[in-house]
Structure 1
Amino acid sequence: MSLAATPAFPPLLDGRAVAGDPFAAARDAARVGADPGLVLFDPSAEDMDVALLLAPEVPLEEAAAMLPLAGVALQNALGALGPSELPVHLDWDGTVRVNGGRCGRVRAAIPATRPGAVPDWLVIGAALRVRPRSDDGGATPEDTALHAEGCGDIAPLDLVETWARHALLWIHRWEEEGIAPLHRDWTALAHGLGGPIRAGGHEGTFLGLDERLGCLVKTGSGTRLVPLTTLLEET
């Protein structure tokens, strides 16, 4: 089922169609002073791909929470549109998994920003593979697509619209309640807790998140913290 031929966004968001990569287009728009709340998407794309431009009012280390927030919003969007039993999990590095297979990712970009400073802008993006790349699922057994997981009635623009709404809801909740609800919900969706992980040059056991959603890795020489800011793409 398709919600609309053109996504409808809440009043605080300004949806605009682009041809090609919405994440790159959002970064370009940010660099020339576009207003926050801009949502970019490619209406002709076979897969879900969307980017949202934000204007943080908090230091870089706090604003980085928008990256896992984008992942939780994506899981919420799939929960609203897909089968209720669809298992969706998140890797700390932004990978999105559906039924255990890699199906997409979330990412975030900022301009070059000093630690402790407020970024001039921040772009978050979300992408999901909707249709399999081939009929031979065994060729890439660790990858999957929504239509291979019982979500054949979900169209890319359905996800674009629903993700944007859930992202906005989560941003409001983060502003009102702080990071605790996001920490709790992301942890409940975490993939690989207690298992092996490689993050920030450290290999070990994934213990969970610190209070700023950094990755705690238990190595042979102790527990290492990999800050969430290391995942931000600097422009």
Structure 2
Amino acid sequence: MTTPSFPPLMSGRAVTGATHPFDMACTLAAEGCDAGLIVHNLTANHLMAAIVLAPEVPLADAMLMLPTCGVGFQNAFGALAPPEVAVHLEWSGGLRLNGASCGRLRVAAGGTDPEVEPDWLVIGLDLPLMQIAERPGDQPDQTSLYDEGCAELDPVELLEAWARHSLVWINTWEDAGPRALHAEWRGLAWRMGEEITQNGRTGTFQGVDDRFGMLLREGDTTHLIPLTTLLETQS
């Protein structure tokens, strides 16, 4: 498999076997590796990768890297995949292809206080290339790239494009603030305006606040669910 090539501000590190890039990236970030490192593991069935970032803003603002990298993925996928394949982004990081669940983005950080700058932040990408279910129909809400007609899509090119497009959106966010990101993401948001269940609450997904916290309308009350509730704990 071809070695991925990344933009000048990024570097790559391949892992193999059972080593998950997200876990490795978190370990390396905690040890003080350089920001921009992309740890990746590409197998016949999965594309797994994680980007190490070094935010210079409080954690609540740094969490916007989750939707930023989601938009980066959609842009990358849209440039390489057949035009009839639609991508949507779940607020919690899930990825949807033609309405079915197809992998996810995840996030961890070197800190949990929303108003304190974290030591590091890692955004992970898990993407199934081939269907996991033993028999078609076993998981009707699950799909893969190949099941959606993307068998010709090179996973190495997709990884490279995800890195490039995510970097563009990170720079846009740093230079111009979150307005453009909000506008782009809203057009891709999954089930906005519909009833959903998130963090144990069920209500109408009305949108997000400036920090991409979910606004969930439950009866006469609108609850704010911060992005920081999506942080994964690293042991």
Question: Which band: TM-score by shorter chain?
Answer: over 0.9
Question: 1:16 maps to which residue?
Answer: 13
1:207 CA displacement:
0.6
TM-score normalised according to structure 1 size: 0.94
Percentage of identical aligned residues: 47
| Cα contact 2:101–2:142 (8 A) shared by 1 | yes
Paired residue total: 232
Structure 1 equivalent of residue 83 of structure 2: 84
Is contact 2:44–2:129 with CA below 8 Å preserved after alignment?
Answer: no
- Give the stretch that moved more between structures: 106-115 or 214-223: 106-115
Alignment of 1:149-164 (within 5 A): 149-164=148-163
After superposing on structure 2, the runs of 4+ consecutive aligned residues of structure 1 that deviate more than 4 Å are none
| 1-structure distance, mates of 2:151, 2:178 | 34
Indicate if the aligned counterparts of 2:42 and 2:48 stay in contact, CA closer than 8 A: no
Which TM-score applies when normalising by structure 2?
0.94
Name the CA distance, whole Å, in 1 between partners of 2:106 and 2:181. Answer: 16
Q: Work out whether residues 95 and 105 of structure 2, in 8 Å CA contact, stay in contact via their aligned partners in 1.
A: yes
One-letter code aligned to 1:120? D
Is the 2:114–2:228 contact (alpha carbons within 8 Å) kept by the matching residues of 1? no
Q: For 1:22 and 1:204, locate their aligned partners in 2 and report how far apart those are by CA, in whole Å.
A: 34
Q: Contact 2:72 / 2:165 at 8 angstroms: preserved in 1?
A: yes
Contact 1:111 1:234 in 2 (8 A): no
Cα drift, residue 159 of structure 1: 1.7
Shift of residue 139 of structure 1?
1.2
Structure 2: where are the runs of 5+ without partners?
none
Unmatched runs of 5 consecutive residues or more in structure 1: none
The CA deviation at 1:196 is 1.3
Q: Which amino acid aligns with 1:50?
A: A
Once residues 95 and 136 of structure 2 are traced to their aligned partners in structure 1, the CA distance between those partners, rounded to angstroms, is 18
SS of 1:230 mapped into structure 2: helix
SS of the aligned residue for 1:115 comes to coil
